[in-house]
Amino acid sequence: MRTSLRLGLVLMAAILGGSDLASAQTAKIKLGYAKCAHCLPMSLVPGLAKNVEVDATGFNSGNDVLTALISKSIDVAQVTYLHYITALDKGFDVVAVSGQINGGSECLSSTKLNLPPDDWTAFKAIVAKGKSDGQPLKVAASRGNAQDIHMRGAFLKQGVDPNKDIQFINIPNPSDHLAALQRGEVDMICSVEPFASQIRLAGAGKHFVLPYDQAAGNLTNLIVTRSDVIASQRAGVQGIVTAVVELDNKLIADKSLWIDVINKLTGLDKTVATEALKNASPDPAIHRSQTLAIAAMMRDLKYISKDVSAEAEKNMDYSFLEQATGKTKNDLGY
318 and 288 within one domain: yes
Q: Which residues pair with 140 in a beta bridge?
A: 169, 189
314 and 229 within one domain: yes
CB 72 within 8 A of CB 32: no
What pLDDT is attached to residue 1? 44
122 and 189 within one domain: yes
224 and 98 within one domain: yes
What pLDDT is attached to residue 22? 41
114 and 98 within one domain: no
The pTM of the full predicted model, rounded to 2 decimals, is 0.86
Burial class of 8 by CB neighbour count within 10 A (0 to 12, 13 to 18, 19+): exposed
| CATH number of the CATH domain containing 134 | 3.40.190.10
290 and 261 within one domain: yes
In a domain, 63, yes or no: yes
92 and 63 within one domain: yes
272 and 198 within one domain: no
Domain tally for the chain? 2
Give the chain's largest Cα–Cα span: 91
Burial class of 334 by CB neighbour count within 10 A (0 to 12, 13 to 18, 19+): middle
**Which of 186, 209, 232 corresponds to the end of one domain?**
209
Count CB atoms within 10 A of the CB of residue 33: 25
223 and 97 within one domain: yes
What pLDDT is attached to residue 27? 86
What pLDDT is attached to residue 18? 42
Quote the distance between the C-alpha of residue 138 and its chain's center: 25
117 and 86 within one domain: no
What pLDDT is attached to residue 15? 39
In the chain, which stretches have pLDDT less than 50? 1-24
- pLDDT digits 0-9 by tens, 74-114: 999 999 999 999 999 999 999 999 999 999 999 999 999 99
In a domain, 20, yes or no: no
In a domain, 289, yes or no: yes
In a domain, 119, yes or no: yes
What value does the CA radius of gyration of the chain take, rounded to a whole number of Å? 22
In a domain, 113, yes or no: yes
321 and 239 within one domain: yes
What does the CA dihedral 285, 325, 33, 287 come to, rounded to 10 degrees? -10
Which residues, including other chains, have CB under 8 Å from residue 249's CB and lie 6 or more apart? Answer: 282
Nearest to 188 by CA among 201, 171, 202: 171
110 and 40 within one domain: no
What pLDDT is attached to residue 25? 63
In a domain, 31, yes or no: yes
**126: domain range?**
105-209
- d(Cα 42, Cα 243) in Å, to the nearest integer? 9
**Which of 209, 244, 266 corresponds to the end of one domain?**
209
**Which of 166, 189, 209 corresponds to the end of one domain?**
209
